[in-house]
Structure 1
Amino acid sequence: MKKTATIAAAATLLALSLSACGDRDDNNDEGSDDPSTSSAASESATPSEAAEQFPDFKACMVSDSGGFDDKSFNQTSLKGQEDAAAQFGVQTAKVQSDSDTEYADNIDQLIADGCNEITTVGFLLGDATEAAAKKNPKVDFAIVDFGYEKPAANLKGLNYATDQPSFLAGYLAASQSESGFVGTFGGLNIPTVTIFMEGFRLGVEQYNKDNDGDDVTLLGWDGKKGSFTEDFNDKGKGQSVGADLIQQGADILFPVAGPAGLGGLQAAKDAGAKGIWVDTDGYESTEYGDILLTSVVKGLDVSVTEAIKESAEGTFTNEPFSGTLENDGVGLAPFHDFDGSIDQEVKDKLEELKAGIISGDITTS
């Protein structure tokens, strides 16, 4: 299989910056050594003196059980809140969820703390967020990776067409595979996970169509069923699933499993394979940058910051946000260490595919 390396030039791909957080603190109340404070909302630092537009406004956030140091979507969503504090002078607070059973209580805690806007992070908080929005019409709510058919007036879904850049990532992975096998796995079989996997699958298919006789096989997802850890937090499970895909022949892994997916990258590194990360630029946010061809990134931070700004200035609506390749709400991260090893032919093809996705000529889901 012809080896070709990583994708499209950084100038034409989305380059979302990520300020990596420190090691995950087991206690949500920053600076506390008392485990009993693990569910307490943690207050932010004083906002920048240069940004004092909304000093009396309080923007808050609830993570899913992956935590704010997941190297993925919780962490980047939190960056959006931190950017709002720096840019607009809002106060902030956050609660880190340690299990899926805590979501409703954590949201209620922030309401009691006087939050004007609450962002919840992840598909699993959908029901709890909607219930809280209906009970608290004076508080604005935004939720990452979830949408509603008929949202309350104070409830905005922040969604991302991750199938689009995942299609490009699948094409890239197929072009780079030396074994003729690439693999993917998810945390749970839910839409916000499988949208990545399906886009990736169709990208591999596109490569096979464009390169007769040079077929690449995708392991871990067939369009309906596949490999899942059934957990977003257990790195050991991710490593086990990843190792199984590598044993079957995969030399590039695309884990879509939050912190559990880091185990897949570890399996890839141990085996001398490569990986592609999700949600954030993994070269910046994880310790596995040296094996990452690229990352499928979402503009989580930008959309969270904008939702907070709208709420603070009184222009918040329930119109959902949809991040696409066209509006730079999703994209591929730079190729970093692999950039020099990609054939120009592959880079040009990725740009062609990107244009086709934007025009609607190419279907990615």
Structure 2
Amino acid sequence: MRRSLKLAAAVLSGSLGIASLAACGAKSTDNNTASAGGGSGLKVGMAYDIGGRGDQSFNDSAARGLDKAKSDLGAVINEAEAKSGESEGDKEQRLKSLVTSGFNPVIAVGFVYQDAVNKVAKDNPNVKFAIIDSNSPDQPSNVTSLTFSEEQGSFLAGVAAANKSKTKHIGFIGGVQSELIKKFEAGYTAGAKSVDPSIAVEVTYLTTPPDFTGFADPGKGKQAAQGQLDKGADVIYSAAGSSGSGAIEAVATAQGTKWAIGVDSDQAKQPALDKYKDHILTSMVKNVDTAVFSFVKSVKDGNVQSGVKNFDLKDGGVSLATTGGYIDDIKAKIDAATQQITSGATKVPTAP
């Protein structure tokens, strides 16, 4: 979800534009927005999902792509933070503020922005927008959907979990019960069952729409993981944004050998989770940073692809982290499963 090309008619003054951004929780990473970025003229706005930069997961992966656009392409960047419990109007205003401040492209991080992106993009046809993790049939032509084959990476996470579980009992925690997160669940369960058809898989969702706080509540994540541990699960995979950090904490502090599986970013490398890294078996890495950077570059180069741009296992859109070396002993099994998926021999389900 990112791509917006609108420097055209910045009718409002820069000071008014930046003021409106501040009102929406946005922040420029440069004090002098007009001159920063090496004079490339590229101004990229990013509207984060709940949790924002610093969530150690999904938003942070998007932020890495934005940072690379700044360092490699000379882009001036501006970031707008989401608020818990906000309305659809809040999302629209956040995007409008980026547009009126001259940012183009504008990237929306998360499927919760779909309606807002459709409306604001329609009203601003000269601006390029990207939305991550969503695609709608009535999406305007100036919007690019950046999607991922999460089920494929999650399948590999399931293979790892089943091979490492001593109790033959594993768990999955989803932040919000949505079609997107069900892809993670479906792939994970299918991967585990491909190793051991009789393995037990606990499934817990933290919230259901319209409540999206399940992506930003480590306390809920910790409680859910503890519940699964109490039932006998010894490997738990969380697709829950920053709530997953709570699940990782519960696993890391449990008695006996228990493993957590991270998501989106390589969570064993996240500074805030450093004290738990010895309990993170692997992470299903979703390379949102790659998608964000490639989109911004396509805007700069003038060859933006509208519609859907999907990133799968074959092209490196998703992968399994090897930090810590904890899955080195099952590398051959992971490689075999990868080959089966990329060759098309294994069709990974996208729904439980």
TM-score by length of 1: 0.81
Counterpart code for 2:206: F
What is the CA–CA distance in structure 2 between the aligned matches of 1:294 and 1:203, rounded to whole Å? 15
In the alignment, is residue 359 of structure 1 matched against residue 337 of structure 2? no
The answer to whether the 8 A contact 2:206-2:220 is kept is no
In the alignment, is residue 97 of structure 1 matched against residue 75 of structure 2? no
- Deviation per residue, 1:182-235 (Å, 9 max, x gap): 1011111112211111100001110115xxxxx421111xxxxx4334421111
Which residue, out of 68, 84, 88, partners 1:83? 68
The answer to whether the 8 A contact 1:268-1:275 is kept is yes
The answer to whether the 8 A contact 1:229-1:237 is kept is no
The answer to whether the 8 A contact 2:24-2:93 is kept is no
The answer to whether the 8 A contact 1:153-1:317 is kept is no
Counterpart position of 2:234? 251
How far apart are residue 37 of structure 1 and its match? Answer: 5.0
Q: Identity of counterpart residues, as a percentage?
A: 28
The answer to whether the 8 A contact 1:142-1:155 is kept is yes
Q: Map residues 67-146 of structure 1 onto 2, 5 A cutoff.
A: 67-99=52-84, 100-101=86-87, 102-146=90-134
Aligned residue for 1:67, secondary structure, equals: coil
RMSD in angstroms over aligned alpha carbons?
Answer: 2.0
In the alignment, is residue 56 of structure 1 matched against residue 53 of structure 2? no
The answer to whether the 8 A contact 2:111-2:133 is kept is yes
The answer to whether the 8 A contact 1:151-1:318 is kept is no
How far apart are residue 321 of structure 1 and its match? Answer: 1.4
What is the CA–CA distance in structure 2 between the aligned matches of 1:310 and 1:137, rounded to whole Å? 17
The answer to whether the 8 A contact 2:25-2:82 is kept is no
How far apart are residue 43 of structure 1 and its match? Answer: 1.5
- Deviation per residue, 1:110-168 (Å, 9 max, x gap): 11111111000001111111111111101100111111234322100000001111111
What is the CA–CA distance in structure 2 between the aligned matches of 1:297 and 1:164, rounded to whole Å? 11
* Unpaired stretches in structure 2, ≥5 consecutive residues: 1-20, 209-213
Counterpart position of 2:223? 240
- Deviation per residue, 1:258-291 (Å, 9 max, x gap): 1111111111112142100010100112333211
In the alignment, is residue 228 of structure 1 matched against residue 228 of structure 2? no
How far apart are residue 39 of structure 1 and its match? Answer: 3.0
TM-score by length of 2: 0.84
The answer to whether the 8 A contact 2:176-2:205 is kept is no
Figure out how many residues of one structure are paired with residues of the other and give that number: 313
How far apart are residue 41 of structure 1 and its match? Answer: 2.5
